[in-house]
Structure 1
Amino acid sequence: MPSLFRLSPTAPGVSRLQRDSFPFVLSDGRRIDVMRVRDPRAKRLRLSVGERGARLTLPPRTSLVAGERFVHEHRDWLTDQLAQQPGDVMALVPGEATSVPLRGRMLPLHWAPGRVARVVAGEEALTLQLPARAGQAAVSRALRDFYEAEARADIGRWLPAYLPGLPRPPSRIRLRVLSSQWGSLAPDGTLTLDLALVLGRPAAFEYVLVHELCHLIHADHSRRFWREVEARCPDWRDARDYFRDEGRRLKAGLHVLLDT
């Protein structure tokens, strides 16, 4: 990724976040990209690790050299933190055999030539058809389209059973890559769900759908709200525990696969 900082190493007067990335070699020899963010509100250098990988935050007047030196000084810490990150999903490399998650299972992913980039589902495996000159962006887009189609198919199977007990149906349903939430309901009735849900257990996905639909009845998390959830999803506590145990892994896996 081209640097956003090259013309102004110290970025004086910067008024908004600026991002780029730089390559880095960990203590164990792995090569990663560190996201570099210049934040006008930052008071000091900060290195963090999250679902999207390593992130270096720089104050407005800190030089790039000082930032990269800071990462080198914390290389062992960064290596340890990344080793502890959840996730058993590897980035997709065209032509290399691998497996990808879907509905709580890891399915083999095969590669085949095709006129357009798309994922085709078989009984026990997936095939990603790819034109000869297609790049990584086409791979990510094809997988995202596949996951969204599968998620909408699940929602389409579940939703009719819950509509009769609602004051109104959701105005529309969107699938997005969310950072922390699993779902939300906007005042206009738009229901947004995390695309990572389709990677995990269907029962947990269905619970999130039920949870957000119940907000059409009660907009809060009162006892009345939870009674509505309980009536429709008696095992909701199991789903909640599942997300506590596996949620970070699901979100991290989706980021890796879609290269976001």
Structure 2
Amino acid sequence: MPDPFRLLAPKPRGLERDAVELALADGRRVQVARVRDPRARRLRLSVDERGARLTLPPRASLAAGERFLAEHRDWLAVQLAQYACDAIAPLQRDATATLPLRSARLPLRWESGRYARLRRTDTALVFAAPAGADDAALRRALRDFYTGEARADLGRWLPRQLPSLPRPPRRVQFKVMSSQWGSLAPDGSVALDLSLVLARPSAFQYVLVHELCHLIRPDHSRTFWREVETRCPAWRAERDYFHAEGRRLKATLRILLGN
């Protein structure tokens, strides 16, 4: 029987969001997303491809948050400038000169063709498209190319893992995922984030190994991590790589594909 007192208990508060404007030292005014997070333990200012974000713990006052912003506005200006320099532009015919692939930027050559198609040569990428191809067609061709490259990597790595698994994955598919890098469904299907093909190959392999090890252990117990370490001894370095580069990789793919 359900506990009646539990049913009457207040539900935990979720995230509360709004925005505040901050004047930088050079006179520019920037919008900072302000998020009150019940799990936060301290004030925190961060910057990513979406802009600046101030996280407040439940008991922090708005005035304390504004003082914190003012104290860190010089740091914020530097971080925003860095993201502006590193930002990648959307795919544009005859203007995009390089494309990311496997932690590198490859030169891109445009040429005329009967249909939109991107292919890789020994020295560069070649994007062929008819004169009337619209942006959507170009982005579909780019997504097809990245999916094909990701599947080529999968074809090299997966056969080595299969002998040590209790069963093979039912299927492996690539998706554009918002936060996760991979997941294992109850039926044994593996989903992997397509932006992994932009990462360094060793990091991509780690995510694949991580999800395959869930076929052995569905949890994140010590036994699970021992299975991961047996197959990927440097998994901690790859996890740190995603902490440092993950947002940028996902943002790059979203921008290029127009998501």
Q: Does residue 159 of the first structure (1) align with residue 152 of the second (2)?
A: no
Distance (whole Å) between structure 1 residues aligned to residue 103 and residue 133 of structure 2 = 29
1:238, distance to aligned residue in structure 2 (A):
1.1
The residue aligned with 1:239 is: 238
Aligned to 2:169, what secondary structure does the other structure show? coil
Q: Does residue 208 of the first structure (1) align with residue 212 of the second (2)?
A: no
Quick one: which amino acid aligns to residue 145 of structure 1?
D
- Asked if 2 retains the 8 angstrom alpha-carbon contact of 1:184 and 1:193, the reply is yes
Deviations 1:107-162 (A, max 9, x none): 01111100010101011210111111000001100000000000000001000000
- Asked if 1 retains the 8 angstrom alpha-carbon contact of 2:229 and 2:235, the reply is yes
Q: Does residue 175 of the first structure (1) align with residue 174 of the second (2)?
A: yes
In the TM superposition, structure 1's runs of 4+ consecutive aligned residues that sit over 3 Å from their partners are 79-88
Quick one: which amino acid aligns to residue 157 of structure 1?
R
Distance 1:104 1:115, change over 3 A: same
1:97, distance to aligned residue in structure 2 (A):
4.2
Deviations 1:80-102 (A, max 9, x none): 68655485422111111421110
Quick one: which amino acid aligns to residue 89 of structure 2?
M
Stretches of structure 2 that go unaligned for 5 or more consecutive residues are 1-25, 27-46, 52-72
> What is the TM-score of this pair, normalised by structure 1?
0.69
Aligned to 1:101, what secondary structure does the other structure show? strand
The residue aligned with 1:227 is: 226
1:212, distance to aligned residue in structure 2 (A):
0.2
Stretches of structure 1 that go unaligned for 5 or more consecutive residues are 1-27, 29-48, 55-75
Distance (whole Å) between structure 2 residues aligned to residue 159 and residue 89 of structure 1 = 31
Distance (whole Å) between structure 1 residues aligned to residue 199 and residue 182 of structure 2 = 14
* Corresponding pairs, count: 193
Distance 1:151 1:229, change over 3 A: same
Distance 1:104 1:129, change over 3 A: same
Percentage of matched positions with identical amino acids: 60
1:215, distance to aligned residue in structure 2 (A):
0.2
Distance (whole Å) between structure 1 residues aligned to residue 254 and residue 212 of structure 2 = 26
Q: Does residue 196 of the first structure (1) align with residue 192 of the second (2)?
A: no
The residue aligned with 2:128 is: 129
- Asked if 1 retains the 8 angstrom alpha-carbon contact of 2:48 and 2:247, the reply is no
The answer to which structure, 1 or 2, has the higher relative contact order (CA under 8 A, 6+ apart) is 1
Matched ranges for 1:1-260 at <5 A: 53=50, 83=81, 85=83, 87-260=86-259
The residue aligned with 1:20 is: none
Aligned to 1:217, what secondary structure does the other structure show? coil
Quick one: which amino acid aligns to residue 164 of structure 1?
P
Aligned to 1:158, what secondary structure does the other structure show? helix
Deviations 1:38-76 (A, max 9, x none): xxxxxxxxxxx975x57xxxxxxxxxxxxxxxxxxxxx9
Deviations 1:188-210 (A, max 9, x none): 11100000000010000000000
Name the stretch that deviates more: 109-118 or 86-95.
86-95
- Asked if 2 retains the 8 angstrom alpha-carbon contact of 1:89 and 1:100, the reply is no
Quick one: which amino acid aligns to residue 232 of structure 2?
C
Quick one: which amino acid aligns to residue 252 of structure 1?
A
1:184, distance to aligned residue in structure 2 (A):
0.4
Aligned to 2:174, what secondary structure does the other structure show? strand
Aligned to 1:239, what secondary structure does the other structure show? helix
Structure with higher Rg: it is 2
1:226, distance to aligned residue in structure 2 (A):
0.1
The residue aligned with 2:29 is: none
Quick one: which amino acid aligns to residue 91 of structure 2?
L
